[in-house]
Structure 1
Amino acid sequence: MISATIPINEEFRLEALRSLNILDTPSEKEFDEITSLAAFLCDTEIALISLVDSDRQWFKSKHGLDVCETPRDVSFCAHAILDPENPLIVEDARKDDRFKNNPLTTVEKLVIFYAGIPLVDKNGFALGTLCVIDSKPKTLSKKQLESLKSLANQVVMLFELNKKNTDLEKVQSKLKKRNDSLREFARVISHDLKMPLANIITTTDLLKLILNGKLDEESSEYFDYIKTSSFSMSSYISDVLDHYESDSLLQNKPEKFDLNELLQEIVDLLSIKPDFTINFPTANTIIESNKLVLKQVFFNLIANSIKYNDKEQIEISIDANEDENFYFFRITDNGMGIPNDKLDTIFDLFTTANTTDRSGNKGNGIGLSTVKKLVGKLGGSIKVTSTEKVQTTFDFYIKKYN
């Protein structure tokens, strides 16, 4: 028996293998289906996905074999990875000087025929093989060998896909930690800044009262500016907090409720004035969903329809439909509209479509970003269409709880 030599790139090859984080992982259906198919196509007793580690070969998938690994010094696959570009075919190991005294051949009488296709990653490192084994001499047809090569390519693709998924999970974990930190930061900032802002607003009103009759018009305007800016900053802080705390709403369980009753609650909260007309869906729709989340979505959209409206008589219409899997909603207003060059970015955080709202205040671009996030969490999507100076329509849907 002749043990395989160590590849010249062994250190880097092992680094590439271990970067996959696949050694000693449980069996997976996708890999097991490949070895089962390989054994069938090649008409062999055994098929393996073998990864050559520093001192062993470990089987990610095995068909027709019970053991999970064998020592590297008796490994046929350790020979196969020495020539990554070509398959290793051993039709009768008893006649091959490299293997004729191999215990897997002479004692176990397990490996007489061997065919291994090196599993080569995108950097050219041979990580192991897809191999088929039989306890009697065999030959493979050209078609069988080509099929085995195709299956080996699929194994490498699965390795790469698994690594990408693992890397993605790590990124998602880091993003979650950062998002949690931002949420905590927003909570602290909200508490630490809103109280001083409230004090500024109160002090401004008090000073104007004390100095009543002693301020000229310009000085009075400065006081008004301080108060307006403080209210604007307080609103901005509240919106940031709502954005980062919106996920907490998703913890509520779904419940059944009347959509029109929910919309009436929102109208009452917004203190709709006589110059507003809001049309509810003609038929009462019973919804089964996360009520608080849907309430937040409608509240933001209706509030925006009111804020960004330049008409004397504001009109908002709300429609609702459903099918077996989804609820569909539409909110249309006769407001300022959204410029065409803003439609693609209107749901991005800190992006606004208009310079100022109905009261002359500038938006902060947080509300619609929160809406999009909440709708997505409910298994849906939202889109907007608009004609500037005429109307804006938001269409969105959410998934039913089945």
Structure 2
Amino acid sequence: MPDSQIRNSESRQHPAPEEFHILRTSADKDFSNLLFLCCQIVRAKVSALVVLENGKTWINSTYGSPPEEFNTDATLWEQVLENDEIYIFGPEDLLTSGMEHESLIAVPVITETGEKLGVIALFDPEDQDLDSNQKRSLKLLVNQILTLIAFKKQNNQFQRVQQDLEQRYRELEKFASVVSHDIKSPLANIISLVDLLKEENEGKFDEEARQYIEFLSQASHSLRSYVDGLLVFYRSERILENGEEDVNLHDFFKTITNLYTVNPDVEIIYPENGVLKKVNKAALTQIFMNLISNALKYNHKQKRTVEITFSASNEFYEFEVRDNGDGIPEERFDKIFDLFTTLDLNDRDGNPGSGIGLATVKKLLTHMGGNIQIESEPGIGSNFKFQIKRSC
């Protein structure tokens, strides 16, 4: 029998608040199966996971009997934790603690860092003279309990980090929105004044002044495009929060392409058949609008064409967006999807790119469980291939 003397409580390790919180909030089923296995090792019919926190005891989980039937007197359990050994108590020890049982096997639950969480109590076991394999088996199950607690702790930490990142992203999104709004308002005035200046003074400026006015106009429109793209990029998180729905491809593409085919030099070919099941339609719309817009802007040919094809595998919806535009050098393939990366080329209207559109496409596809690749040849055109993970 163990020495009944209890050491000074100051000698105990400091409590681990998060571990105790995990034990308090975990469902009984999280540990009851492990308690069942403990019972099988020593052939006991009843067991409990007794937790000790700041001198108080409570029952986390039980097997074979409801929690209210267990005595939670701390003395016996503290003795086991202080000695950090598996003990077998007889009827006299148990009677002193107010427990009417013939015997009890007590297994300490202590972390590797010495934090004393509680005791596995196995009541009236048939096997009381434990061999080395039985002791080892009990300790292995204790390790499984500690592993489960550690996993829950890690998951809690992950959730806190995720919440912190979400909060920071919301703050960044708000900052970007406020700054963009503050830029767009005076920028709109600049664009309007420049256009008015050009209109009212047509033919009055010399060539140098006319070039300055043109540079100012191009820079203003480029900045507006940059600000608009930045807002779309940061608002893409909100797009991904939209619900999923079925999408008829013919109707979907008809709505989008009507925005571009008003120009007679533009031809967009798209699938006439196909239905996507449970996809984020708003995100998909943003993806295609960015890809089609880029295909048409960076195309200096007289006749501009975009061809969209669709296929489906067991895991993905697969699309290709092929154009006859200016093309992209192969050495830039790895960079074009990075935020703010541009090719230092102007579109057909003379405006430089912002390096935001393709970054937004990649961001949306990543969140939708897909990816994107490019094939391109300068002067011939480009083909963007991407996949979206199927949910059903």
TM-score normalised to the size of structure 2? 0.83
Which residue matches 2:276?
A: 287
Q: Does 1:158 align with 2:158?
A: no
Give per-residue Cα distances to partners, 1:195-227, cap 9 Å, x unaligned.
211110111122233444443322222222222
Shift of 1:42: 2.5
Which residue matches 1:385?
A: 374
**Residues 398 and 136 from structure 1, CA distance in 2 versus in 1: closer, same or farther, beyond 3 angstroms?**
closer
Structural RMSD (CA): 3.3
Looking at structure 2, the residues matched to 381 and 223 of structure 1 have their Cα atoms a distance apart, in angstroms, of 44
Q: Which amino acid aligns with 2:109?
A: P
Looking at structure 2, the residues matched to 395 and 20 of structure 1 have their Cα atoms a distance apart, in angstroms, of 47
Shift of 1:395: 1.4
Looking at structure 1, the residues matched to 94 and 49 of structure 2 have their Cα atoms a distance apart, in angstroms, of 23
Shift of 1:189: 3.4
Q: Does 1:57 align with 2:51?
A: no
Instruction: Pick the aligned partner of 1:112 from 97, 103, 113.
Output: 103
Q: Which stretch shifts more, 211-220 or 194-203? A: 211-220
The question of whether the paired residues in 2 share the 8 Å contact of 1:38 and 1:148 is answered with yes
Q: Secondary structure at the match of 2:253?
A: helix
Shift of 1:292: 3.0
Give per-residue Cα distances to partners, 1:216-244, cap 9 Å, x unaligned.
32222222222212111211221222223
Shift of 1:38: 1.5
Count matched residues.
384
**Residues 365 and 141 from structure 1, CA distance in 2 versus in 1: closer, same or farther, beyond 3 angstroms?**
farther
Which residue matches 2:311?
A: 321
Unmatched tracts of structure 1, length 5 or more: none
Looking at structure 2, the residues matched to 43 and 312 of structure 1 have their Cα atoms a distance apart, in angstroms, of 86
Looking at structure 2, the residues matched to 93 and 210 of structure 1 have their Cα atoms a distance apart, in angstroms, of 105
The question of whether the paired residues in 1 share the 8 Å contact of 2:43 and 2:126 is answered with no
Q: Percent identity of the aligned residues? A: 29
Which residue matches 1:5?
A: 7
**Residues 276 and 208 from structure 1, CA distance in 2 versus in 1: closer, same or farther, beyond 3 angstroms?**
closer
Give per-residue Cα distances to partners, 1:112-156, cap 9 Å, x unaligned.
2213143314x3433334443326771223222222121111111
**Residues 17 and 111 from structure 1, CA distance in 2 versus in 1: closer, same or farther, beyond 3 angstroms?**
farther
Describe how 1:289-368 pairs up with structure 2 within 5 A.
289-309=279-299, 314-323=304-313, 326-335=316-325, 336-337=327-328, 339-340=330-331, 342-343=333-334, 346-348=336-338, 350-352=339-341, 354-359=343-348, 361-368=351-358
**Residues 46 and 294 from structure 1, CA distance in 2 versus in 1: closer, same or farther, beyond 3 angstroms?**
same
Q: Secondary structure at the match of 1:170?
A: helix
Shift of 1:44: 1.4
Q: Secondary structure at the match of 1:47?
A: strand
Shift of 1:54: 0.9
Looking at structure 2, the residues matched to 53 and 82 of structure 1 have their Cα atoms a distance apart, in angstroms, of 14
Unmatched tracts of structure 2, length 5 or more: none
Which residue matches 1:45?
A: 45
Shift of 1:173: 1.9
**Residues 309 and 209 from structure 1, CA distance in 2 versus in 1: closer, same or farther, beyond 3 angstroms?**
closer
Looking at structure 2, the residues matched to 262 and 385 of structure 1 have their Cα atoms a distance apart, in angstroms, of 23
Q: Secondary structure at the match of 2:194?
A: helix
Looking at structure 1, the residues matched to 221 and 276 of structure 2 have their Cα atoms a distance apart, in angstroms, of 36
Looking at structure 2, the residues matched to 233 and 353 of structure 1 have their Cα atoms a distance apart, in angstroms, of 14
